[in-house]
Structures are given as C-alpha cells and as structure tokens.
Amino acid sequence: MNQFDMKIIPFEAVYNFRDMGGYKTRDGRAVRDGLIFRSAALGKMTTADKKLFETLGVKTIFDYRDNHEAQINPNPIFPHAKYIQIPAKGNHAFEMPTNTGGKDFYKVVSPEMFQEFYAQMPFDNISFKELMATIQNPGNLGLVHHCAVGKDRTGIGGALILLALDVPEETIMDDYLNTNVYLRPLVDRMAQAIQPDYNDREIQQFYALMSAREEYLQAAFDAMENRYGSKTTFLEREFGLTKERREQLQAHCLT
C-alpha cells in the first residue's frame, strides 16, 4: 500500500474524499493528518456516510461550485461545521457540466480550452483568496474543500494549499493525478450513459476532460511562474502570504 492509498476515506456515496495529511515538505516536515481534506460533492451522503463524516472533526466545508450546482445537489447540514460556498470557476465562458445537465459540455469544450481554464483559475479568484484566508485561522481546521467531482477546482485549491505549505511540486502533481484512480468508477459509468449520443472522437474528448492530466495542472504552475517570476512571489501577491504568514501557516499545519 503506497502513501496515497492510505489517504482515501471510504464513504459509500462520496467520491474522491481524501486526507491531505502526510505529505512531506521540502524541509522534511509533514502535513498533519486530519486537518485538510479534499473531495467530490457531498450531497449524496448515506446515513452511514454522515456518521463517518462526523468522526472527522470537520469545522469548515468549503464549496467551489457555482450557485446552481450547489442548489441542485446541496451539501448536508452538519451542526458543528461552517459552510462557505464561493464559485471558483471565475469568468470562464463555459458552464460547468453539473450546472447544465452537462451532456454537450464534453462535445464543445476541448482539452486545450481546459488547459487555459487551469492557467487562469489561480489568479484574481475570490474563491481561492477566501480559501487561503480561511486556512490561516487554525480554528477553521479541519477543513474539507470540494467541487463537483473533486478534480479541477479542487485540484487547483489543493495545489495552492500544498504550495503554501512548501510541499514539492512533484508531490502536488501526484496528489492531483491520483484523482484518476478514485474517479474511475464514476467516469466509466458516465461514459456508458453518454455513449449512445457520442461518436468516438467525442468519447475521447469526454475522457480527456474527465481525467486529471499533468498538462492541466502544469499550465497553472507555468502561469504562476510566467506572471510573477516565482511561485513564492505568486503566493505573496495573490494571497498576501508573506514569508512570515507562510511560516505561521506551516507552524500549525506541519509536524
């Protein structure tokens, strides 16, 4: 069992729910377990799932979905958790598939458009600004951050958190790509459902958009470097994460 297998939390009806603890930082420390989780949408939780969730000590549920997505698949209410919902898609022209019924999304949005989506998401994004402010208050942790399937918006959010904690990029990329393992059953089921209406090229495009691909997250990393010269400057200028604030964040999130 590798370090990634141990992170999945086995819900019955929630996909891709993982503890982001355990990752090693550049200086040899590790992210504390049970502080930050990433997930797909929580709205289909069974009774057993809710009981399991309540054992995790979650104080904040941070939802990146658009308003309509959150309304049609609302999160369960947990009395001890604060719920923050701020759309992270930004001004992108396309609607997320869970916002529209989604069938045509995979026909009209190309992998190249998606790569550009990733390159734009980290910048001037009120959702991620609020996320990074939220995690700096230890009283808000444990925190689960999620979108619809826990891949794209959550992928960027997870990368930002781990960058701020000084986890190496290779590890961040591995965490992102691991989504492919945990979403596979869902993706295959979706592919089966849309097959009658799709030609081979469209099915390939569907799989490309439903995959976590290295070039997607790399586009975000490259954009940070291109705009700011370094990811350290990016974190400082976009989120006010000065050296001192990063050290404070690391002090309460690392062991």
For the stretch 152-170, pLDDT in tens is: 999 999 999 999 999 999 9
For the stretch 109-151, pLDDT in tens is: 888 999 999 999 999 999 999 999 999 999 999 999 999 999 9
d(CA 239, CA 255): 23
Strand extents, DSSP E, the chain: 18-19, 36-39, 60-63, 82-85, 143-146
For the stretch 193-210, pLDDT in tens is: 989 989 998 899 999 999
Delineate the domains of the chain, giving CATH numbers in brackets.
5-253 (3.90.190.10)
pTM of the predicted protein model:
0.94
Rounded to the nearest 10 degrees, what angle do helices 111-120 and 214-228 cross at?
40
d(CA 12, CA 117): 31
Half-sphere exposure of 114 (CA within 13 A, CB side): 26
User: Cα-flanking dihedrals φ and ψ of residue 159, to 5°?
Assistant: -65, -40
C-alpha distances out from residue 51 to 9, 18, 45, 57, Å: 13, 16, 10, 11
Tokens 């026909």 sit at which residue?
Answer: 107
In three-state secondary structure terms, 185 is: helix
